[in-house]
Structure 1
Amino acid sequence: MMKNHPYKKYIYAAVSLFGVIVLSIIVFFIIFRYGEIKQALRHIFNTLMPFIIGAALAYMVCPLCRTIEKFYLRILEKTERIKQAKKEKLALTASVFTGIFITLVVIYLIIIIIVPQLITSVIRLVQILPDSADRLVKWLEKMLNSNEQLLAVSQELVDKGYHFITDWLSNGLLESVENIATGLSSGVISFFTLMLNLFIGVIVAIYLLLSRKKLARQGKLILYSIFKKEAADSIMDEVYFADKTFSGFINGKIVDAVIVAVICYVGMMLFKVITGAQVTMSEVLVAVIVGIFNVIPFFGWYIGLFASALLILIVNPVQCVFFVVFDFILQQIDGNILGPKILGDTTGLSSFWVLFSILLFGDLWGFAGMLIGVPVFAVIYHIISQLVAKGLRRNGQEEMLVQYERDFPPKQPEETIVRKIKQ
């Protein structure tokens, strides 16, 4: 028997040494083949993009489908000729197609309402820019003429800029034109690829929503076939926590951003009516910018404020001052009233870890990383907290955790780690 084998500790030492060697080889391979591995992962990611889009769409539409399914079940319960299993299948199928249809209609309405106004706003901005630039040049000339030293510095900067542009026109113009042409062709290909991925993604989302109950049951069977019940239960708890965190944070952020955008639009319209201003920045464009960047935690408000204020300043400086003051008040209302009411404490992270997660995942995944970085890190933080709690319990140091939560009480007492480890 292996339990009483005299060389048991030597066998364990050999296995551990072999594991260290294998792990070292893998790390060495990853470091020296990082470029190839990154390229291979990018190829796999691009190949699976329709499935990623479909999974994300299915996850977003799933709560709506559940609500619609309950509604259809209540209607079908009145029909006695249909068996219960058939009723559930009909309700599931009808809810999926209804949910997808409602989502696509909402997206279509948003596009036909907002996109034309955005295009009009951009065209209007381009038309206004020459007059605004002319006024800016005249203001600068007036300022420079009153200060000889500043005038000399500006003339030197103009000369350097002139030489730079001349050199660029003679040497780098052709290369820039080639780069622009290449970029345009790549952009067209990327656009059609995105449209194809979106179309396939919708189909994938429909299949996922129709099969979600079966897939969830299969995943649970696989999990409990691999791990013991205690470990499998812990993993399921983390899955439920991740689902709660992601759905609460992302859906809440989207709803919060829509409300903020609507309030911003109403505020800009009131400014236009009260002041009677003839030349103002498009209210729709400003509201869309503020709403989109408000989805990003922490940094989103600053980015949206700066971008919108810069655009408004070009058109109407008085409106820019009003917008800065109004947006500051709006964000205070959102941060202290709307946000907590809609989102609650869905992550449980401190401001430091929110900032850390945005910077980390934003650098890794761009805009998408800034959006999902907070819930991803919240799940990682929760897993580490559970592991630390179990380690303290195993080592008989639960009192340290009790004292920690006494000194730094959690925002949600019913979710304390102490309560969980004592279950």
Structure 2
Amino acid sequence: MNMNEETVRRLRGLIVFTVAVVVVGVNYQKLFAAAGALLKMLAPFLLGGAIAFALNVPMRFLENRLWSHLVKKESRYKRPVCLILAIVGVAGVLAVVMVLVVPELFRTIMTLERSIPQFFANVQRALEGLFADYPEIETYISSVEIDWKSTLEQIVFFLGHGAGTVLSTTVSAAVGIVNGVATFCIGFVFALYILLQKENLARQAGRLLQAFLPEKAALETARVAKLTEKTFSSFLTGQCLEAMILGSMFFITLTLLQMPYALLIGVLIAFTALIPIFGAFVGCAVGAFLILLVSPVQALIFIVVFQILQQIEGNLIYPHVVGGSVGLPSIWVLVAVTLGGSMMGVLGMLIFIPLTSVLYALLRETVHRRLRVKQEEKNTDKKLSKIDRKR
């Protein structure tokens, strides 16, 4: 049988693919271990890329908006100044949150130390009154006693001494902390290099694509990368802004209603709102529990307020702030959050929504293009059939 060069090339590729599949199937455990070791080695650089991507959003805003309006001319100091301002801004926001939240958190813990025993004592008295006609149940409820002071003292002692002793005597924990700090420092420095030279890096990446890929594939890869960057940036910006607005709304509303833990609940809901769909409800549950320990009536009012503000946020604020930044229907947002959460936890929820949005946009473009080609072919066939009938 005579085989041309194309057939030989395809057979060679099929043989290589089969051998690769067999090798992977036999040695998959070693390959997974090697992949894990490689990811561990690359962890500082992956972290640096993530930090650079997050800092690039405010830095690009400062470069394109603030610098252009105030300075109105290009300068070699533009990039370093905007980068420093972006770092200071992000660090300042985190510092303000810590300064406001940490004291409030300690006050809340001290309040809970007194309110939890009192709350359960009130519940116990209410149950005794409710089951007054049933002496056996009333006797059982009255016999339930919890030494809250001793329990809280044991928890505080463990957190203050037991956990500290374990950490101080465990070498692996100390090494893990040092490695974490070193990884963050290396990643942060790497992020600075990326941000200071991002145009050069983008140009070099483009040249690599043109050198090793066909022209059409290189252009398509660059287009997908640009779409991915735009989608992730828009999602990050919109989600953070929406979380800040929602947290401020809750803080102001709870303060006006004179409810307890207004600041703590506002910050908590702002952070949990970063997780789409499920996050705000986690904040609602924690907030309702904290207020329940003070006043059950106020807890019910808080739940009603949460539903009202959630409707305002979902129908008015979210569409205008986040809007179509991800361009993903609600059903696919739910799928993305569920899959991301099951695979990577909270981080997966944040990553999978813009990632799914990119895949959805590419699939939509492919479907429209294929349908357009089929429609053109159908129109061409109709024209040809008309010409044949005329003949």
TM-score range (shorter-chain normalised) is 0.7 to 0.9
Aligned CA distance change for structure 1 residues 369 and 113 (closer, same or farther; 3 Å): same
* Structure-2 separation of matches of 1:110 and 1:270: 21
1:143 aligns with 2:137: no
Corresponding residue for 2:275? 296
SS at match of 1:344: coil
Aligned CA distance change for structure 1 residues 222 and 392 (closer, same or farther; 3 Å): farther
Kindly indicate whether the alpha-carbon contact (under 8 Å) linking 1:281 and 1:316 is maintained by their aligned counterparts in 2. no
Corresponding residue for 1:9? 7
Corresponding residue for 2:18? 20
SS at match of 2:257: helix
1:218-262 Cα offsets, whole Å, 9 max, x none, are: 111111212222222222221121112111112111110011001
One-letter amino acid of the counterpart of residue 285, structure 2: F
* Structure-2 separation of matches of 1:105 and 1:215: 29
SS at match of 2:325: coil
* Structure-1 separation of matches of 2:327 and 2:67: 36
Kindly indicate whether the alpha-carbon contact (under 8 Å) linking 1:97 and 1:206 is maintained by their aligned counterparts in 2. no
Corresponding residue for 2:93? 106
* Structure-1 separation of matches of 2:291 and 2:15: 65
Corresponding residue for 1:408? none
Give the 5 Å matches for 1:370-409: 370-388=349-367, 396-398=373-375
By how many angstroms is 1:116 displaced? 1.9
Aligned CA distance change for structure 1 residues 136 and 15 (closer, same or farther; 3 Å): same
* Structure-1 separation of matches of 2:86 and 2:130: 60
* Structure-1 separation of matches of 2:262 and 2:70: 44
One-letter amino acid of the counterpart of residue 317, structure 2: L
TM-score normalised over the length of structure 1: 0.73
* Structure-2 separation of matches of 1:151 and 1:43: 61
Give the count of matched residue pairs. Answer: 359
Matched residues, percent identical?
25
Deviates more, 1:295-304 or 1:209-218: 295-304
Deviates more, 1:13-22 or 1:366-375: 13-22
* Structure-2 separation of matches of 1:9 and 1:61: 51
1:13-57 Cα offsets, whole Å, 9 max, x none, are: 353244233224324432xx1xx5555544444444433333222
* Structure-2 separation of matches of 1:182 and 1:310: 31
| Gap regions ≥5 residues in structure 1 | 79-86, 159-176, 273-279, 401-423
* Structure-1 separation of matches of 2:35 and 2:58: 33
1:317-353 Cα offsets, whole Å, 9 max, x none, are: 1211111011101110111110011111122222222
* Structure-1 separation of matches of 2:309 and 2:371: 45
Out of 312, 318, 336, the residue aligned to residue 339 of structure 1 is: 318
* Structure-2 separation of matches of 1:153 and 1:180: 40
Corresponding residue for 2:383? none
1:245 aligns with 2:231: yes
Corresponding residue for 1:134? 121
SS at match of 2:323: coil
By how many angstroms is 1:382 displaced? 2.8
* Structure-1 separation of matches of 2:176 and 2:266: 28
Out of 55, 63, 70, the residue aligned to residue 61 of structure 1 is: 55
Deviates more, 1:246-255 or 1:132-141: 132-141
Corresponding residue for 2:155? none
Corresponding residue for 2:336? 357
One-letter amino acid of the counterpart of residue 212, structure 1: K
* Structure-2 separation of matches of 1:42 and 1:56: 19
Aligned CA distance change for structure 1 residues 195 and 131 (closer, same or farther; 3 Å): farther
Aligned CA RMSD, in angstroms, stands at: 3.5
Corresponding residue for 2:105? 118
1:271 aligns with 2:269: no
Kindly indicate whether the alpha-carbon contact (under 8 Å) linking 2:57 and 2:237 is maintained by their aligned counterparts in 1. no
By how many angstroms is 1:189 displaced? 6.0
1:273-322 Cα offsets, whole Å, 9 max, x none, are: xxxxxxx5311111122111111111122222122112211222121111
Corresponding residue for 2:27? 29
Corresponding residue for 2:221? 235
Give the 5 Å matches for 1:188-207: 193-207=179-193
Give the 5 Å matches for 1:77-92: 88-92=75-79
* Structure-2 separation of matches of 1:25 and 1:207: 39
Corresponding residue for 2:264? 285
* Structure-1 separation of matches of 2:328 and 2:127: 48
One-letter amino acid of the counterpart of residue 324, structure 2: D
Aligned CA distance change for structure 1 residues 125 and 153 (closer, same or farther; 3 Å): closer
| Gap regions ≥5 residues in structure 2 | 145-160, 378-391
1:367 aligns with 2:353: no
